[in-house]
Amino acid sequence: MREFLRTHWRKALVLPPVLIAAGALVLAVQTRQPPTRAAETEMVRAVRVIAAPALDVVPKATGFGTVEPARVWQAVAEVSGRVVALHPELERGQVLAAGTELIRFDPADYELALARLDAQLAELDAREQSTRDSLAIEERSVAVLRRDLARKRDLRTSGAAAATAVDTAERALLAGEQQVQSLRTTLALLPAQRKALQAQADTASLDLARTVVRAPFDMRVTTVNVQEGQYAQRGTTLASGDGIATAEVAAQVPLAHLFPLIRRADQPLGADVATVSTRMAEVSGLRPVVRLRAGERVVEWPAEVSRIAEEVDPKTRTVGVIVSVADPYRTAQPGVRPPLTRGMFVEVALSGAPHEGKIVVPRHALHQGPAVYVATADDRLEIRPVTVAWQQGDIAVLAGGVAPGERVVVSDVIPAIAGLKLAVTPDPDALAAVTAAAGAAP
């Protein structure tokens, strides 16, 4: 035994602590208390809401287009000839008043042609007078010959004149009558000859007037294709210009955005083709504003709807609304408002007549369905299906689904579970933004 202890005394020292630890563990397990169960609490989400307002909504839409002049003119040569004079300001970009002489052709040939025809008309008048005088003489001569023939026939009956004398008198009368007939025919043809000569003279007079080319209206020169001393053929385009009285923009507007702007008409446009376009512009009730954005500067022009384009673009589903701006040059101010000129890319903001009493919510408050989140009277989440009339900018106009005053959630809810308990906070800023967007100018 002593030998065993001497050999294994180190191992024997480990055993008591192990036994003590095991006993302590058993005691702890037997005497431990069950864990305390925490009370269950309901999940609450903090949200911001607005009381759904019923507002008078001004429908708005925006389109973009390029400025074009309402009137464009090309100076096409109506006569051939050498250009002898050009207006000193007939250059690209210059503005010229209506009636300004722009180009003058050498008029010599046309003056000679007109003088020649005037002379022929004068000669025709003289010939007519001479023919009338000759006719009067021949008619008197025929009367004498007729009396002479009657006298010789009486003498022939009494035997005092030969038959040859009667025949000679008859031939003389016939010759006189033939001359009278010839003169009458000549007089009958003279009016037709006069008309032909007068038409030629009128044409020559027009050609002479066409040797001077004048500006038909106030215009800005866009091209010049002729120089002084150059020979130009009839039909040659000499210059061109844009009218400055009215500018037009064909703005492409999405069809879906345009429908809310068109006010409902009491009757059809009618079958009168001459008035359909005018009535369409009147019935539309659109109020357009043209805007040019140049860096930080925004320049505006009041405009009018002239007409609606004839077709819808099948690719973009947009329709052209042609608006016109009156006197875009006369209202120009250097450094403040530039003239509205060809090629400017501009924005056209359209607004229509107000739609009264519409429920409006922020656009971001719409969710898939479409639906909005409504806070019920007991502050729980309801996912409410809605009907959207239209959307514009940051707002959506509802046609049904939400009553005025109901609380619409305007903040994110994650997860969005029907019946979720809400901690509701009104959002006056969101309500003010919706109210402003509903009635703001386009």
Distance CA 55, CA 58 (A): 9
User: Are 361 and 402 contacting, i.e. CB atoms less than 8 angstroms apart?
Assistant: yes
Q: Does pLDDT of 284 surpass 70?
A: no
Q: Does pLDDT of 20 surpass 90?
A: no
User: Are 72 and 220 contacting, i.e. CB atoms less than 8 angstroms apart?
Assistant: no
Higher pLDDT: 270 or 405? It is 405
Q: What is the mean pLDDT of residues 256-276?
A: 61
Q: What is the mean pLDDT of residues 411-439?
A: 92
Lookup result for tokens 């001459």: 274
Q: Does pLDDT of 8 surpass 60?
A: no
DSSP 279-303: HHHHHH--EEEEEEEETTEEEEEE-
User: Are 319 and 306 contacting, i.e. CB atoms less than 8 angstroms apart?
Assistant: no
Average pLDDT of the residues of the chain? 85
Q: CA distances (Å), 161 to each of 44, 99, 147, 170, 175, in order?
A: 152, 83, 15, 14, 22
* CA-closest candidate to residue 435, choices 120, 80, 58, 174: 58
Tokens encoding 88: 């000193």
Classify residue 332 by its DSSP letter.
-
DSSP 11-58: HHHHHHHHHHHHHHHHHHHHHPPPPPPPPP---EEEEEEEEPPEEEE-
Cis status, amide bond into 314, omega within 30 of 0: no
Lowest-confidence pick of 58-62, 115-119, 203-207, 254-258? 254-258
Q: Does pLDDT of 18 surpass 80?
A: no
Q: Does pLDDT of 267 surpass 60?
A: no
CB-hemisphere CA count at 13 Å for 372?
Answer: 33
Classify residue 260 by its DSSP letter.
G
Distance CA 312, CA 321 (A): 11
pLDDT 10s digits, 357-394:
999 999 999 999 899 999 999 999 999 999 999 898 89
Q: Fill in the amino acid letter for 288.
A: P
Lookup result for tokens 């109020």: 287
Residue 393: predicted pLDDT? 86
Band the pLDDT of 269: cuts 50, 70, 90: very low
